Homo-oligomer: A and B are copies of this chain.
Amino acid sequence: MNNKSKLRLLATSWLLGACTGLLLSGGALAATTAQPATPWMSGFPPADDRLIRNSDRDYFAGDKLRWTVCHLRELFPSKVLHRGLGAPVNLDYQLDPAIAEVTFTPTGTDTPMSWDQAFDANHTDGVIVLHDGKVVYERYAGCLDEMGTHAAMSMTKSLTGLLAETLIAEGVLDEAALAGELIPELQGSAFGTATLRQILDMTTSLKFNEDYSGNFLDPDGDLWKYSTATSPMPQPESYQGPRSFFGYLQTVPADGAHGEAFAYKTINTDALGWIIARASGKSVSELLSERIWQRMGAEQSAYFTIDSIGTPFAGGGLNAGLRDLARIGQLMLNEGKFNGEQLVPAAAVRNIRQGGDPALFAKAGYTSMPNGSYRSMWWFYHNDNEAYAARGVHGQTIYIDPTARMVIVRLASHPKGANAHNDPTSLPAYQAVADYLTR
């Protein structure tokens, strides 16, 4: 596939990168781009060759990615995730400069690396480490600073999962209910016969190819259709397909029996977002604001990218500040409590923390998570520390280590969009810091 083909692909696939980040990232374009003297989008106006426009559609390509992850709202419509009007509740700080020099050995190598070296190796835009609720390390780079927001991408799924578990714990939703009962419009689709639990754990069986190395250039392919349907941008008059997440989800056909294997497909989370909205009367962004963002002393309002009817992208649309995502991690570590208040039921967090079924997970073949599982849109490492995480495709994570009482949030823009590229220099680094903090 040549670059021209790749660019042509991007003509309507605005959203795929936000969802998975695989398109073009780190591919041929990146390799042939020399390091620029002037940052992207700087100056009044920026030079022509330093512009990033939504119409160029290569905003995730090469090193443009490192600008775009902090500026998605400047390219596309978005919906606020409101922090409310109260004062932020500042995090406590007890910085430990020695963390920078904590060393570990990246998976598959023999050469030790320091935490600070990993920061660059992983294309990190910001990282924060909390121990016993106190910030012990914080650093920014690239487009990010303490007042910025960054694309959470698939970490969004974990927050959507938390909302669903909250409604389950409150008895508003029943995890055994069929999606077709919860959303009658889904009855004719594959989701109709899936339980809420299967959707939460992505053990549905959906005829939907989310393999970006495969059919994604095909206008008849699933990813193209999904991306077009869920774009917030105007479509050509000739386009006759669905124009929203809700519209697209109704078209997904069944592909065998549900419940037999973990299969990571973003549309599960989009369906979950619909179920949450129908059950609560609020969109995912509104519910997340009401239940959590307005009550955790958030420093910044965050936002979601949306489709053309204003639906927040439950599977990948969150953009938020580093410290606010750290608050989410601490909330999980504290079983739903933050600043002494129970924001979500402890039962919701405990239910998530059971972890998923490693046997079902193994069928998906994730090489960098050999013992892993997935439950309620969270990833479980099943390591000695019982760590689990939200994960975004360019290396973003909310990493929760209950044993070390540690939370790490890392925001990143690794040009290669797949965590197999990040995990070797991040997972052992997280473990090394956990070991250091509990030494």
Q: Which residues of A contact B (CB under 8 A)?
A: 41, 44-46, 51, 53-55, 71, 73-80, 82, 84-88, 146-147, 232-235, 243-244, 246-247, 274, 277-278, 283, 299-301, 306, 308-311
Contacts and interface: CB of A to CB of B under 8 A. Distances in A.
B85 A299 contact: yes
A249 to B, nearest CB: 11
Nearest to A41: B310
Contact of A73 (B46, B53, B78, B277): B78
A259 to B, nearest CB: 26
Contact of A233 (B147, B234, B274, B306): B234
Given A73-B78, A79-B73, A85-B147, A53 B309 contact: yes
A419 B228 CA distance: 41
B73 A80 contact: yes
Contact of A246 (B44, B74, B85, B274): B44
Contacts of A274: 44
Contacts of A79: 73-74
Given A54-B232, A85-B147, A86-B88, 17 more contacts: A44-B246, A44-B277, A44-B283, A45-B246, A53-B243, A54-B233, A54-B308, A71-B310, A73-B77, A73-B80, A74-B77, A74-B79, A76-B77, A85-B88, A85-B299, A233-B234, A301-B301
Number of copies: 2
A310 B74 contact: yes
14 contacts: A44-B246, A45-B247, A45-B311, A54-B234, A55-B235, A55-B308, A73-B73, A73-B77, A73-B80, A74-B306, A75-B77, A84-B147, A85-B299, A301-B301
Nearest to A282: B44
Contact of A74 (B41, B46, B78): B78
